[in-house]
Structure 1
Amino acid sequence: MASYDLNAFDRRFQSISLVAAIEQQSPCSLNVAFWLSDPNQLIQYPELANSHPRQDYLWEQTCFEIFIGVQDEDYYREVNLSPSQAWQVYQFEEYRYPEDMPPQPASDIDLNHLKRTHYGLNVSLDLTEFMVAHKLKWENLFIGLTAVLKLENSNQYYAMQHSSPQADFHNKRDWLHQC
């Protein structure tokens, strides 16, 4: 298991800390846990959904994200995970392309488990179809972990690192975990 401190894009913002951990569960399953410390209770959470619906625009509220890239390839997936327990996966051929809004959904990654917890969020994803279709092994994957945290008057953007002048979760330079 590898863990990462996610950093706020606004370095002056230190009120919330966020740690994420990644673990390969089986040949094609990935588990990610996000641990939040919000002592001032600044984060606004969406209401819980009755099931695990796939929904667009989850990033407009508090949302955790997993970017799954492939070594030496342009295509990637963006997985959005809401504390409401809604989720979505998007496919991109290259950096932010196609530019559709919402982005094009991907059906080659499936949800095993998604749960909001007292510490944050836990998810298990089945990457079998994605990995088989592209003939991938774990060592071909690299992963970026990010979060949009909705506060009363602003959003805070957290990532493994921020190397762009604006918060940009699609920047592959900031996806630090290699499987």
Structure 2
Amino acid sequence: MASYELSAFDRRFQAISLVGAIEQQSPFNLNIGYWLRDPNQYVQWPDLVSAHPRQDFLWQNTCFEVFIGVHGEDFYREINLSPSQAWQAYQFEEYRYPEDMPPQAAYDIELNQLKRTHYGLNVCLDLGEFMAKHKLKWSDLFIGLTAVLNTSEGEHYYAMQHSSPQADFHNKRDWLHQF
């Protein structure tokens, strides 16, 4: 399991720390955990929903995200994971394209498990159809972990790194995990 300390885009905001961990499981499953330390309880958590419905615009509230890129290719996937237990997967042909809002849903990634935990969030994603459709191996993929945290102190953006002048989770330079 590889872990990464995610940093806030606003580096002055040190009240919350966030760590993301990635583990490849079985032939096509990806397990990801987010550990959030919020001693002042600034994070505003969305209400739980039943089951695991696909919903758009989850990033408008506290939301954890996974970006999946493919070495040498422009296309990628964005998976939004709400602590409410709602989720959505989006497909892009290249950087933020197509520009539809909400983005085009991707149905080649499935959710096995999503749960809010006492430490943050845990998710298990099935990448089998995505990997088979594009004839991919784990070594072809690279992953970015990000989060939008709505807090009583405003909205804060966390990522593995921030190399753009604005918070930009779609910047592949910031997706650091490789298998």
Tell me the equivalent position of 2:55. Answer: 55
Could you report, residue by residue, the CA deviation over 1:116-153 in whole angstroms, capped at 9, with x for unpaired residues? Answer: 00000000000000000000000000000000000125
What does residue 115 of structure 2 align with?
115
Amino acid at match of 1:122: N
1:88 corresponds to? 88
- CA deviation string 1:67-87 (max 9, x = no partner): 000000000000000000000
Distance 1:17 1:153 in 2: 14
TM-score normalized with structure 2 length: 0.99
2:24 is the counterpart of 1:29? no
Identity of aligned residues (%): 75
Q: 1:94 & 1:100 partners in 2: Cα distance?
A: 13
Gaps of 5+ in 1: none
Q: Tell me, in whole angstroms, the C-alpha distance in 1 between the residues paired with 2:164 and 2:50.
A: 37
SS in 1 for 2:168: coil
How well do the aligned residues superpose, as a CA RMSD in angstroms? 0.5
Distance 2:69 2:89 in 1: 13
Q: Once the two structures are superposed, what CA deviation does each residue of 1:80-111 show, in whole Å capped at 9, x if it has no partner?
A: 00000000000000000000000000000000
Q: Give structure 2 stretches of 5+ with no counterpart.
A: none
Q: Which residue of 2 aligns with 1:69?
A: 69
Q: Is the 8 A contact 2:28 2:128 kept in 1?
A: yes
Aligned to 2:152: 152
TM-score (norm 1): 0.99
Q: Deviation string for 1:35-90 (max 9, x for gaps)?
A: 00000000001000011000000000000000000000000000000000000000
- Count of matched residue pairs: 179
Give 3-state SS (helix, strand or coil) of 1:55's partner. Answer: coil
Look up the SS of the partner of 1:30 in the other structure: strand
1:123 and 1:2 map into 2 onto residues whose CA distance is 15
